[in-house]
Amino acid sequence: GAGVSQSPSNKVTEKGKDVELRCDPISGHTALYWYRQRLGQGLEFLIYFQGNSAPDKSGLPSDRFSAERTGESVSTLTIQRTQQEDSAVYLCASSPARGRDQPQHFGDGTRLSIL
């Protein structure tokens, strides 16, 4: 496929469980972003990866949240000990290179529901 792929598309889990969300960026895209979108709200920046540079983790809301990326490929966002306030759509985006004019290409998101 040519687009950003996220899995699973939907995830329902119990409070306290750990969840792992996956993002496959567009091939060749060096930048990768994770966002959280709560119901009826805008996009909240979580973390940004650029090539082999140290990631910008400034948006992660707590130490329960972590993310990894292997080179310029797949990324996983992990939420430990989930809470009900973690319920949201988690969006991943990638962009091709450095440069302020490069738009982001988004996946369709993972809809996470914490019971």
Positions 4 through 63 that interact with another protein (CB under 8 A)? 4, 31, 33, 35, 41-43, 45, 48, 50, 56
Query: CB of residue 87 vs another protein: minimum separation in angstroms?
Result: 15
Question: Could you give the CA distance from residue 106 to residue 84 in angstroms, rounded to a whole number?
Answer: 25
Q: Does 96 bind another protein (CB under 8 A)?
A: no
Q: Does 1 bind another protein (CB under 8 A)?
A: no
Question: Using CB under 8 A, which of 13, 80, 87, 104 touches another protein?
Answer: 104
**How many degrees, rounded to 5, is the angle at CA 61 between CA 7 and CA 11?**
25
Nearer to another protein, 5 or 76 (CB): 5
Question: Using CB under 8 A, which of 79, 91, 112, 114 touches another protein?
Answer: 91
Contact 14, 26 (CB under 8 A): no
Q: Which residues bind another protein (CB under 8 A)?
A: 4, 31, 33, 35, 41-43, 45, 48, 50, 56, 91, 93, 95, 98, 100-109, 111
